[in-house]
Amino acid sequence: MVQRLSVEEFLLKSKGKTIIDVRSPKEFLHAHIPNAISLPLFSDDERAEVGTAYKQKGREEAMMIGLKHYGANMQRIISGIKDASNPKELYVHCWRGGMRSGVVSWMLDLFGYKVFILEKGYKSFRHLVLTQFEKKYPLQILGGRTGSAKTLVLKELQKKNQQVIDLEGLANHKGSAFGALGEAPPPSQEQFENFLAIELLNCDSSKPIWLEDESQRIGWVNVPNNMWAQMREAKVFYLDVPFDERLKYIVENYGVFNVEHLKDATNRISQKLGGLNTKLTLQFLEEKNFTEAFRILLHYYDKFYDRATDKREVSSVKKISCEEISPEKNTEKIFTKIKNS
């Protein structure tokens, strides 16, 4: 028998199980519940056809058109489930938890699956997502100028059983004009919010949650306003790494990319970088003199980052002197700073 679950129950019970999104491919591509698979009841064109009929000719005509596509599409859905796995439980949703999830779940039930429907559909999930950003969290921010290997330190913190949310990882972007290099295509703003909300839901809000110090905009997405405000008010553990160490790290990590792509990224910040610095940087990149090119760029980003840090309460920034890029050593320095604070 098909059961309906609230969004909280649905997310809890579906962990490690198969979540089936029966919305159209376009709806799924725009944003979806993380880890869901797309098995649409209707294609984008079919959904448009049904919707047009509903508006122009009424519900009954729309249902008749839907039935025309139903049989073949249900065969595809059943095959898709068998290809993905052979689960005992299936978790199904559409947009509002109405007809699409209802008819799919009915058929899956006939095939012997134990089926759960998300009450009020993806719409209820989005409501839950947005409410997560209104809550208060015990945030701790990992700071430091560009090239301080903050992402590697976050990973080390995670190894030490600390709660970590990698915002750049969720955004598929490292934050600077060069941040898209080597990354997968970015998510939509809505999908980024979905990823972030699930991460927050999976955290214990009684324990610290580590985030990297970021601008509100990370590539093509924005940190939700309330979360961003909390990040700006939180305590910052600032890795103070020498310039030459950071420069070496940047050259090693960014000097591997296509020179034309590096030049394109430089041109995107040319107005702020300045005419002479832009010209010199492009020249050094053309010569593959990455050390001198990134020396100019690193000075630029240091000024940018320092201005943002200066806007924080001085007492909230805990500077940690780091002699080198060493995630293990610098993580231990953070723990020492916390212990002595």
Percent of the chain having pLDDT more than 70? 98
Per-residue model confidence (pLDDT) at position 295: 98
Instruction: Cite the beta strand spans of the chain per DSSP E.
Output: 3-5, 18-21, 37-38, 89-93, 114-118, 139-144, 163-164, 209-212, 217-218, 221-222, 235-240, 317-321
Task: Look at residue 54 and tell me whether its pLDDT is greater than 80.
Answer: no
Per-residue model confidence (pLDDT) at position 78: 84
The number of beta carbons lying within 10 Å of the beta carbon of residue 136 is 8
| Structure confidence at residue 241 as a pLDDT band (50, 70, 90) | very high
**What does the pLDDT average to over 269-280?**
96
Alpha-carbon distances of 288 from 127, 258, 263, 275, rounded to whole Å: 50, 10, 11, 20
| Structure confidence at residue 88 as a pLDDT band (50, 70, 90) | confident
Lowest mean pLDDT across 73-77, 141-145, 225-229, 281-285: 73-77
Q: What is the mean pLDDT of the chain?
A: 93
CA distance 268 to 278: 10
Alpha-carbon distances of 55 from 6, 60, 65, 102, 182, rounded to whole Å: 30, 11, 13, 21, 45
Task: Look at residue 63 and tell me whether its pLDDT is greater than 80.
Answer: no
Alpha-carbon distances of 271 from 37, 168, 278, 295, 300, rounded to whole Å: 43, 25, 9, 18, 12
Task: Look at residue 322 and tell me whether its pLDDT is greater than 70.
Answer: yes
Percent of the chain having pLDDT more than 90? 81
For 180-210, write each residue's pLDDT tens digit.
999 999 999 999 999 999 999 999 999 999 9
**What does the pLDDT average to over 48-59?**
78
Per-residue model confidence (pLDDT) at position 64: 83
Per-residue model confidence (pLDDT) at position 81: 83
Per-residue model confidence (pLDDT) at position 211: 98
| Structure confidence at residue 67 as a pLDDT band (50, 70, 90) | confident
Respond yes or no: is residue 322 known to be catalytic: no
**What does the pLDDT average to over 258-263?**
97
Q: How far does Cα 329 stand from its chain's mean position?
A: 28
Following DSSP, what letter does each residue of 119-152 receive, concatenated?
TTHHHHHHHHHHHHTTS---EEEEEE-TTS-HHH
CATH node for 3-130? 3.40.250.10
Per-residue model confidence (pLDDT) at position 334: 97
**What does the pLDDT average to over 218-246?**
97
Per-residue model confidence (pLDDT) at position 220: 96
Per-residue model confidence (pLDDT) at position 80: 80
Rama region for 70: left / alpha / beta (φ>0; ψ in -120 to 50; rest) = alpha
The answer to whether 165 and 199 are in contact (CB under 8 A) is yes
Per-residue model confidence (pLDDT) at position 154: 98
The domain defined by 136-340 folds into Rossmann fold (3.40.50)
Per-residue model confidence (pLDDT) at position 82: 73
CA distance 129 to 189: 12
Q: Mapping DSSP to helix (H, G, I), strand (E, B) and coil, where does residue 219 land?
A: coil
> What's the predicted TM-score (pTM) here?
0.93
Task: Look at residue 46 and tell me whether its pLDDT is greater than 90.
Answer: no
For 99-127, write each residue's pLDDT tens digit.
899 999 998 998 889 999 999 999 999 99
Q: CA-based Rg of the chain, rounded to a whole angstrom?
A: 25
- Active-site hit among 20, 94, 265, 273: 94
Per-residue model confidence (pLDDT) at position 58: 79
Map out the domains of the chain as residue ranges: 3-130, 136-340
Helix axes 327-340, 150-159, angle to 10 degrees: 70
The answer to whether 240 and 320 are in contact (CB under 8 A) is yes
